[in-house]
């Protein structure tokens, strides 16, 4: 047995979670001694999790100094893109309704060919002075609390090695090394029953091979190929993600409660893809490289960071769902927390370390919960353009406002700021669940009326429009008042659109006087969009109009303003109650109607 060596940090796992963490720690504090133990002798297997979003991209560029590498060796990503098919799954790609961008997004993101990235990170990290050992299988760990050093035993090339470390960081993925060793349970998420099957293919022409000029022109000839492309169906979605080196990642994520669990083999997976015209045509002539599957995706842990100087990052701790590609964001967040905790420990700030451990662990658990609620019960609405367009508008705006902006502003390590955010955690989770119920209800109404697929043909929505008011605001300075206003506006606008569809009142979601009554508490507390709820909203609208009209028509005896929607063509009726002469009544009613028709100003 070799003489025992000591390190400041041992990272178990050399995938992107572990390699990124080691790189960040070394760049921030070059004197830190770091050992990375990767069990694979050669990093040559293709891994899922190729798509990144804005937080992870910013982290890779600014924290890890990988910007030049990413643009030279990986693919830039053209945002998220969603396609909607008809009930028989027979629409050609160019006729599907689509949500996507017509230009590259304001903030960058990337498509990662994981095997080449992780191989390159070995060399890049070694060049920084990080000790990276391949073919190193960890067989035992001893975690000591207090001031003691942890001990890690690993086997490599038939030899057994023991090392000591002050911090042990688990990036071992679904092996959950530290949690298993400590006897901490990793919980299977029972509220979401999603599974996945996927493979990589060569010789896939890609979405830009479609030559229909009108279809190409509607996105101003930007590259759909570079997007993370989602083909949306009732209970599942199919991804097409391009990778550097003539590779296309293709996969299916599905709700097993909705469509069963029959995609566990490559023949079943490929037969399933062939049932969909668009996927079948894209894969014509493709050459398969590999196949993998997971029977169940989401899980979580009770604790992620400890005062005993161990921490967990990446899939070693939790996983939600690949929809919206949140996995690398979780890695960036965990690694930021770990680097901050280690910094406090090195500086001898024991009180600061304790405070960070408690706050970061609470926030990471909140992050898991707020992310998993984007998916619970919602897979059945994925196949309807009408419903999903509203869900995406809500989710995308919230991501930019509540997740991306704080990260760009450097708030993610700020314990006091996180404490303040956690004060509103229950309210945010309640709002998510409330909106989820409304989306589900809308999907059920459309399904019952035969309109679930009604607008899945030929429509296009620019997904970036929902965040254009944020693009020029995001940066190192966080405007808390503007953020709160955006949350109110976002929830109110989407809820107004749900109300509009339920009532059959076109334009309702754009009426300023209505949106001002759809505040955050109203959305959070609403259980059903029923007659009582509608009457309550319109009663408040009438009271608001009455108050503003009394101010404008001083001295007029305006007792009440009634705003209601008549049957038939849905034309709004504004009625003024009070002892008014005919001419004044006509003037007030005309003004009230103008106020009702006024639309909220566009940013």
- Higher-scoring residue by pLDDT: 523, 129: 129
pLDDT at 3 over 70: no
Residues 515-527, mean pLDDT to the nearest whole number: 87
- The token pair at 269 is 């997976």
- Average per-residue pLDDT for the chain: 94
Encode pLDDT of 249-291 as tens digits.
Answer: 999 999 999 999 999 999 999 999 999 999 999 999 999 999 9
Q: How many helices (H) and strands (E) does the chain have?
A: 21, 23
pLDDT of residue 565: 64
Pair 507, 500: CB distance under 8 Å = yes
Residues 137-148, mean pLDDT to the nearest whole number: 88
Which contacts qualify for 402-406: CB closer than 8 Å, 24 or more apart? 402/428, 402/483, 402/487, 403/55, 403/329, 404/54, 404/55, 404/58, 404/107, 404/474, 405/470, 405/473, 405/474, 405/478, 405/483, 406/478
pLDDT of residue 237: 98
Residues 33-37, mean pLDDT to the nearest whole number: 98
Length reported for the chain = 603
Encode pLDDT of 424-463 as tens digits.
Answer: 999 999 999 999 999 999 999 999 999 999 999 999 999 9
397 — phi, psi (to 5°)? Answer: -65, -45
pLDDT of residue 1: 43
What band does 346 get if pLDDT is binned at 50, 70 and 90?
Answer: very high
Give residues with Cβ within 8 angstroms of 128, minimum separation 6: 23, 26, 27, 30
- Higher-scoring residue by pLDDT: 55, 148: 55
DSSP type of residue 111: E
pTM for this entry: 0.95
What band does 602 get if pLDDT is binned at 50, 70 and 90?
Answer: very low
Rg, the chain, Cα only: 27
Of the candidate CATH numbers 3.30.750.24, 3.30.160.60, 3.50.50.60, 3.40.50.150, the domain formed by 1-74+112-186+299-346 belongs to: 3.50.50.60
Encode pLDDT of 369-428 as tens digits.
Answer: 999 999 999 999 999 999 999 999 999 999 999 999 999 999 999 999 999 999 999 999
Nearest CA to 403 out of 49, 55, 53 is that of 55
- SS3 at position 250: strand
Which contacts qualify for 446-455: CB closer than 8 Å, 24 or more apart? 446/384, 446/386, 446/387, 451/386, 452/87, 452/234, 452/383, 452/384, 452/386, 453/84, 453/85, 453/86, 453/87, 453/383, 453/384, 454/386, 455/84, 455/97, 455/385, 455/386
Residues 511-535, mean pLDDT to the nearest whole number: 87
What band does 506 get if pLDDT is binned at 50, 70 and 90?
Answer: confident
pLDDT of residue 603: 42
Pair 198, 250: CB distance under 8 Å = yes
Q: Which fold has domain 78-106+193-297?
A: D-Amino Acid Oxidase; Chain A, domain 2 (3.30.9)
Residues 29-35, mean pLDDT to the nearest whole number: 98
pLDDT at 569 over 90: no
What band does 145 get if pLDDT is binned at 50, 70 and 90?
Answer: confident
Looking at the chain, which residues constitute the CATH 3.30.9.100 domain(s)? 78-106+193-297
Percent of the chain having pLDDT more than 90?
86
The dihedral through the CA atoms of 535, 536, 537, 542 has a sign that is positive
What band does 47 get if pLDDT is binned at 50, 70 and 90?
Answer: confident
């Amino acid at each position: 047995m070799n003489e025992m060596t000591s390190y400041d940090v041992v990272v178990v796992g050399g995938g992107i979670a572990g390699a990124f963490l080691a790189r960040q720690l070394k760049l921030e504090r070059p004197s830190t001694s770091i050992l990375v133990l990767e069990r694979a002798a050669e990093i040559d297997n293709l891994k899922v999790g190729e798509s990144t979003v804005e937080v992870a991209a910013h982290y890779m560029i600014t924290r890890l100094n990988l910007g030049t590498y990413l643009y030279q060796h990986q693919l830039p990503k053209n945002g998220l893109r969603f396609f909607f098919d008809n009930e028989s799954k027979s629409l050609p790609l160019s006729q599907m309704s689509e949500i996507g961008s017509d230009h590259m997004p304001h903030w960058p993101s990337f498509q990662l060919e994981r095997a080449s990235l992780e191989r390159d990170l070995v060399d890049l990290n070694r060049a920084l002075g990080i000790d990276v050992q391949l073919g190193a299988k960890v067989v035992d760990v001893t975690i000591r609390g207090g001031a003691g050093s942890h001990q890690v035993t690993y086997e490599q090339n038939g030899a057994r090695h023991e090392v000591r470390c002050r911090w042990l960081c688990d990036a071992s993925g679904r092996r959950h090394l530290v949690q298993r060793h400590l006897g901490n349970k990793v919980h299977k998420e029972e509220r979401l029953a999603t599974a996945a099957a996927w493979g990589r293919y060569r010789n896939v022409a890609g979405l830009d091979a479609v030559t229909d000029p009108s279809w190409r022109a509607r996105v101003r000839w930007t590259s759909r190929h570079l997007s993370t492309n989602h083909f949306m169906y009732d209970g599942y979605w199919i991804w097409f993600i391009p990778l550097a080196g003539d590779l296309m990642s293709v996969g299916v994520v599905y709700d097993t409660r909705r469509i069963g669990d029959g995609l566990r083999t490559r023949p079943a997976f490929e037969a399933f893809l062939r049932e969909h015209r668009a996927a079948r045509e894209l894969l014509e002539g493709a050459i398969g490289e590999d196949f993998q599957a997971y029977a169940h995706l989401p899980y979580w842990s009770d604790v992620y960071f400890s005062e005993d100087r161990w921490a967990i990052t990446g899939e070693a701790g939790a996983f939600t769902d690949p929809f919206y590609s949140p996995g690398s964001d979780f890695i960036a967040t965990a690694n930021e927390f770990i680097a901050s905790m280690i910094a406090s420990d090195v500086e001898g700030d024991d009180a600061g370390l304790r405070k960070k451990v408690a706050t970061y662990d609470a926030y990471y658990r909140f992050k898991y919960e707020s992310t998993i609620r984007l998916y619970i019960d919602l897979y059945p609405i994925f196949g309807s353009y009408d419903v999903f367009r509203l869900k995406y508008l809500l989710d995308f705006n919230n991501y930019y406002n509540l997740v991306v902006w704080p990260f760009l502003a450097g708030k993610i390590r700020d314990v006091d700021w996180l404490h303040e955010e956690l004060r509103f955690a229950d309210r945010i989770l309640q709002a998510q669940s409330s909106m989820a119920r409304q989306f589900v209800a809308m999907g059920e109404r459309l399904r019952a009326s035969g309109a679930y697929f009604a607008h899945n043909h030929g429509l296009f929505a620019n997904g970036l429009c929902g965040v254009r008011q944020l693009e020029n605001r995001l940066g190192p300075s966080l405007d808390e008042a503007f953020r709160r206003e955006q949350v109110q506006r976002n929830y109110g606008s989407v809820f107004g659109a749900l109300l509009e569809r339920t009532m059959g009142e076109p334009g309702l979601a754009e009426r300023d006087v209505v949106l001002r009554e759809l505040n955050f508490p109203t959305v959070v507390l609403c259980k059903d969009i029923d007659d009582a709820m509608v009457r309550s909203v319109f009663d408040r609208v009438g009271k608001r109009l009455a108050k503003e009209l009394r101010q404008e028509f001083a001295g007029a005896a305006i007792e009440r303003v009634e705003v209601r929607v008549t049957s038939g063509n849905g034309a709004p009726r504004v009625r003024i109650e009070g002892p008014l002469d005919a001419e004044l009544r006509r003037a007030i009613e005309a003004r009230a109607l103008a106020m009702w028709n006024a639309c909220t100003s566009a940013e």
